[in-house]
Amino acid sequence: MAGPTNDDIQDKLLNHTYDGIQEYDNPMPRWWLLTFAATIVFSVIYLFNIGPVGSGKGRIADYEADMAAYAKAHPAPTGGDMSSDQLLALVKDEEAMEEGKEAYTAYCASCHAPDGGGLIGPNLADAYWLHGGTIADIYKTVTIGVLEKGMPPWGKTLKPEQLSAVVAYVSTLQGTTPANPKAPQGTPVTP
């Protein structure tokens, strides 16, 4: 009826006493050790995310899936969705021109000079363009920027109306005579 008691087990007592407590020299049970070893093996596989064992399909596949999901959620600006005609129509819209000039003064004048003559950025009043001089080209350049050359992308900073207005405004600088024009850069574009 009673199970084995300590007295029945022929275990070897270890030769020490801590605070009156003695202990047997018993190994951990086999099932426990195997489970322990299995968790170590699993943790290594999990850590390196190998195959289907880890949290995903493998590190590289996970990374690529994350990057693809990010790219989908944050599409690169393509140049906006205003047509040339819509942009040119804004040139005749006084309110839009007012807004465009305001945005130009606030965001562009520091690099392109208040009158478009150019400072760090190129002259926007001459006929020479690095990235194309049609209003659609300007719209695209302003939207996506030329970051490696120091021209910020404005497509996500400005509101869409502001962006089209400032582009329309820039197109009106063409042929004006800035106070200190920067030397032409790029190729001439005939309007």
Q: Which residues bind ligand HEC (CB under 6 A)?
A: 107-108, 110-112, 120-122, 124, 129-131, 138, 141-142, 146, 149-152, 154, 166, 170, 185-186
Nearest to ligand HEC of 49, 100 (CB atom): 100
Instruction: Extract the tokens encoding 2.
Output: 């009673």
CB of 38 to ligand HEC, least distance (A): 58
Nearest to ligand HEC of 49, 165 (CB atom): 165
Q: Which residues are CB-neighbours of 112 under 8 A, at least 6 positions away?
A: 104, 118, 119, 121, 122, 123, 124
Instruction: Extract the tokens encoding 138.
Output: 């300007």
CB of 77 to ligand HEC, least distance (A): 13
Instruction: Extract the tokens encoding 144.
Output: 């996506």
Nearest to ligand HEC of 9, 147 (CB atom): 147
CB of 132 to ligand HEC, least distance (A): 6
Nearest to ligand HEC of 54, 186 (CB atom): 186
Q: Which residues are CB-neighbours of 191 under 8 A, at least 6 positions away?
A: 127, 133, 174
Nearest to ligand HEC of 49, 158 (CB atom): 158
CB of 180 to ligand HEC, least distance (A): 16
Q: Could you list the beta-strand ranges (E) of the chain.
A: 128-129, 187-188
CB of 47 to ligand HEC, least distance (A): 44
Instruction: Extract the tokens encoding 44.
Output: 């290594």
Residue 27 CB neighbour total at 10 angstroms: 8
